[in-house]
Structure 1
Amino acid sequence: MGCCTGRCTLIFLCTLQLLAALERQVFDFLGYQWAPILANFLHIIIVILGLFGTIQYRPRYIVVYAIWTAIWVTWNIFIICFYLEVGGLSKDSELLTFNISRHQSWWSENGPGCVRKEASMSGIKGLDNHSYISVIGCALEYRYIEVMHSSFQILIALVGFVYACYVVSVFTEEEDSCLRK
């Protein structure tokens, strides 16, 4: 096989997916969003499995990767709906943190152009160590940054799915032609 084959393209796509997932994982850890952290972790494992299957000519691993990309697209559509508050979803809910904490996207306080102001809540019983945080001047709302992240993940996953199906068909075709000889 040549270097510009579907196999090489799938290797490139898996590597790109790994980099994008690791970047997303870092920012989800910073925001203490446990549901996305677990989903990203599983995604990283499956993409590594798909990468291994592509490099080692193992179509079954690539099939697992292809199935996972469909699930991954669904998860990212949910994330987009969550941040755009489609249906009964609210970006201010504690759904992504499993109701463990009141944290939200790291981008909500640290987005491009955002100025973070803290006001101490002294004098209120039980809240002496807490502060009120207001964020102003953001060039782009954090929910749109999260939507862009998910949209990019969907795009890579869809292209990866197509190439995974192609590579599996090429691998099984080569296997069949070897068996016929």
Structure 2
Amino acid sequence: MGRCNGRCTLVGFCCLQLVAALERQIFDFLGYQWAPILANFLHIMAVILGIFGTIQYRSKYLMMYAVWLVLWVGWNAFIICFYLEVGRLSQDRDFIMTFNTSLHRSWWMENGPGCLVTPVMNSNLAPEDHHVITVSGCLLDYQYIEVVSSATQIFLALFGFVYACYVSKVFLEEEDSFDFIGGFDSYGYQAPQKTSHLQLQPLYTSG
């Protein structure tokens, strides 16, 4: 029952990760955030791999999933530092998130709760095919929404990593102690005894 609980818990965390990643992918697509889109796609593939490995008793897949979660935690920690502008990181460097292909930022910047967007007409600051806006009245600034989203991803990844290591260890122990048909341990296996049968033939003498 303990093994089943561990597997079921891991599958549950993987499903939560999958839902959270899909939700994040949608909003990153709306904001044309190409770097997060790529990272989210890889994360979704890794989570699916983790679910498959858990259901099919594949410890190697779980190890790969656990290694990816370490990278995923690092990426989300970078996202948090980026939006909080820790150190030399600045949100003015759009190329970090968009590969310098657009001027878009987080979708929540203009669509956060309570945000009022006002376009600035005839602004010389706007490049071609773009416009300048002012955003005011937000109940929660977009950078904090992104920080909460990344913190949630880190929380789920840490729990997923712990359970992936645990379930993988259980699978490896089962593989090592598996008793094949006939048994290969010293107590269950007995070598066949060789017996020789000699048929005696009567000897006849002619006189």
**What TM-score comes out, normalization by structure 1 length?**
0.92
The residue number in structure 2 matching 1:36 is 36
The residue number in structure 2 matching 1:112 is 113
SS of the aligned residue for 1:5 comes to helix
Change (3 A) 1:154 1:131: same
Change (3 A) 1:114 1:64: same
Change (3 A) 1:31 1:178: same
**1:19-56, CA deviations, whole angstroms, 9 ceiling, x for partnerless residues?**
00000000000010100000000000011001110011
The residue number in structure 1 matching 2:100 is 99
Task: Give the letter aligned to residue 117 of structure 1.
Answer: T
Whether 1:74 aligns to 2:111 is: no
CA distance in 2 between partners of 1:107 and 1:98 (Å) = 19
How far is 1:101 from its partner? 1.1
- How many residue pairs get matched? 179
In the alignment, structure 2 segments of 5+ residues that lack a partner are 186-207
Task: Give the letter aligned to residue 119 of structure 1.
Answer: V
CA distance in 2 between partners of 1:105 and 1:90 (Å) = 14
Is the contact between residue 3 and residue 170 of structure 2 (CA under 8 Å) also seen in structure 1?
A: no
Higher helix residue share = 1
The residue number in structure 2 matching 1:49 is 49
The residue number in structure 2 matching 1:132 is 132
Task: Give the letter aligned to residue 113 of structure 1.
Answer: G
Task: Give the letter aligned to residue 46 of structure 1.
Answer: A
Task: Give the letter aligned to residue 82 of structure 2.
Answer: F
Q: Percent identity over the alignment?
A: 64
In the alignment, structure 1 segments of 5+ residues that lack a partner are none
Is the contact between residue 50 and residue 62 of structure 1 (CA under 8 Å) also seen in structure 2?
A: yes
How far is 1:5 from its partner? 1.0
- Written as runs of structure 1 = structure 2, the 5 A alignment for 1:164-175 is 164-175=164-175
Change (3 A) 1:111 1:3: farther
CA distance in 2 between partners of 1:102 and 1:72 (Å) = 25
Task: Give the letter aligned to residue 143 of structure 1.
Answer: Q
Largest Rg, 1 or 2: 2
Is the contact between residue 121 and residue 127 of structure 1 (CA under 8 Å) also seen in structure 2?
A: no
CA distance in 1 between partners of 2:119 and 2:2 (Å) = 58
Task: Give the letter aligned to residue 111 of structure 1.
Answer: G
Change (3 A) 1:76 1:19: same
Is the contact between residue 121 and residue 129 of structure 1 (CA under 8 Å) also seen in structure 2?
A: no
Provide the aligned C-alpha RMSD in A. 1.9
SS of the aligned residue for 1:103 comes to coil
CA distance in 1 between partners of 2:153 and 2:127 (Å) = 40
CA distance in 1 between partners of 2:165 and 2:113 (Å) = 38
**What TM-score comes out, normalization by structure 2 length?**
0.81
> Which stretch has the larger CA shift, 3-12 or 26-35?
3-12
How far is 1:99 from its partner? 1.1
SS of the aligned residue for 1:104 comes to coil
Task: Give the letter aligned to residue 7 of structure 2.
Answer: R
